[in-house]
Amino acid sequence: MHHTPIRLSESELRRPELRVVFLLRAWQGDVETQADVWNDLCRSMGQARARACLQAFEQMLGLLVKHGWQTLTVLPRDTDGVSADEAAIARFVMAATEQKREAALAQAGFLVSPAALLPLVCAASRFGLPLLCEDCRARVRSEVVRPRLN
């Protein structure tokens, strides 16, 4: 039997959530792709916030790798749609960032072992806050461009 992975539409995610998916995909790439992401973040949020954002992102990824229940399905950059794992991570990051602590802890329980729950929620909130601020600044400036995943 052939199994086809289920993909969600990009329109089901908010801009900061799409940014999370974009970063997950970009981090699978080469050093040049990561440098492009760094430059893009510096341009949109400043060097200090970009550094803090990426440090928290890398800490979150480290916890997912070390304590995760399974390897996440992160699609290639040029793929249309979003995997269920990518959507789950994006929604988890925003729940942690928006202080929906119980929801974030419940979602984290599906991602990592109990020893990593609180550190993962903390890293996710530090990662997501600059992304949420970036989106707010874009809305204030009336920028309607949605992040592209490919």
Question: Which pair of tokens denotes residue 84?
Answer: 């269920």
* HSE-up (13 A, CA, CB side) for residue 6: 5
Q: 84-132 pLDDT, tens per residue?
A: 889 999 999 999 999 898 898 898 888 898 989 999 999 999 999 999 8
Nearest Cα to Cα of residue 68 among 32, 17, 126, 116:
116
Structural domain boundaries in the chain: 13-140
Confidence of residue 32 (pLDDT cuts 50, 70, 90): confident
Nearest Cα to Cα of residue 149 among 45, 48, 13:
13
Nearest Cα to Cα of residue 127 among 102, 148, 95, 97:
97
Q: What is the mean pLDDT of residues 66-92?
A: 88
